[in-house]
Structure 1
Amino acid sequence: MTKEKKTTIIFLKKLNHKYIYDFKSYLANYWLKDDPRGISQNTIMKHIKRLSKIVTLAYHME
């Protein structure tokens, strides 16, 4: 994602459905060096849920 977006910082105003979809696709296509199976769907959804919690918290703090 850093290579595509060319940054490590994403502002709340820039988050949209496409970013979430791209993040999910990135996780689905990510392969660990020692594990040829990749990341499971449950793990992807855990990361999406965590991202959602962080974004919600940041939104309420803003």
Structure 2
Amino acid sequence: MGIEVGGISGLILLVLNVWAIIKVSQSSAATGHKVLWIVLILILPLVGLILWFFLGPKGNS
């Protein structure tokens, strides 16, 4: 059994993941690093988001 996320918490997680993917794509990191971060966020939404927040590339703005 996996952890199911639904309702408001699922919507919040989706919005945060989309925001993180946008920030990664706007960052000045190399293309390969951007792709790896985006794949990580997509495959592991909660863990990927947390790891990106602390370790990943941020947007230029």
In the superposition, the TM-score normalised over structure 1's length comes to: 0.31
Larger radius of gyration: 1
In the superposition, the TM-score normalised over structure 2's length comes to: 0.31
Please identify which structure carries the higher helix content. Answer: 2
Task: Identify the structure with bigger relative contact order (alpha carbons < 8 Å, sequence gap 6+).
Answer: 2
